[in-house]
Amino acid sequence: MNSNFQNKIAKMIRVAVSEVFQKDFAIEFYPNLVSVGNVKVTPDFQIARIYVSCFPEDKSDNIMKIINIEYSKIKYLIHAKIKNKLRKMPELEFYIDDIYAEQKKVDDLLDKVKQEQERIKNDRIAQGLDPEAPLDESQYKNLDDL
């Protein structure tokens, strides 16, 4: 569980990283859209884990390479923005935030379930059965694919 102070520090770092990415690294990231999704700070304030989202998603490896190459510059610029608010700058760890990819997978699975339910209702209508009757597992042909 995060304390209020941890959350404040995380938010401060998130804003600083976002500003650095938007202002100082816009050219390096061009034409990709890079945003900071979440920042988590350890309880001892030694490490800040920064989750970065990239659009298009297939360019996220290139963005991480840029971030790793320019790590010291990024850390310096962030420290310059928050140096009066923190005694010690935490170590920064950057990760790809794959929440959108996971969300897309869930949406695709839900769409498959919806399509399968529609297929079953259409089959039941074609057989002259009540399409609104409860479904049982034996009626799912592609249940293992879901």
pLDDT in tens, 19-40: 998 988 888 888 888 889 889 9
Q: What is the pLDDT of residue 142?
A: 55
All CATH 3.30.300.20 domain ranges in the chain, comma separated: 4-97
pLDDT tens, 42-91? 999 899 999 998 888 778 888 889 899 999 999 999 999 898 888 888 99
pLDDT at residue number 46: 92
- DSSP 3-state of 81: helix
Pick the CATH number of 4-97 from 3.40.50.1360, 1.20.58.1610, 3.30.300.20, 2.60.40.1840: 3.30.300.20
> What are the two backbone dihedrals, phi and then psi, of residue 142, each rounded to the nearest 5 degrees?
-110, 40
Of 44-48, 95-99, 114-118, 129-133, give the lowest mean pLDDT range: 129-133
- What lies within 8 Å, CB to CB, of 10 at 6+ separation is 2, 39, 40, 41, 48
Q: Between 142 and 43, whose confidence is greater?
A: 43
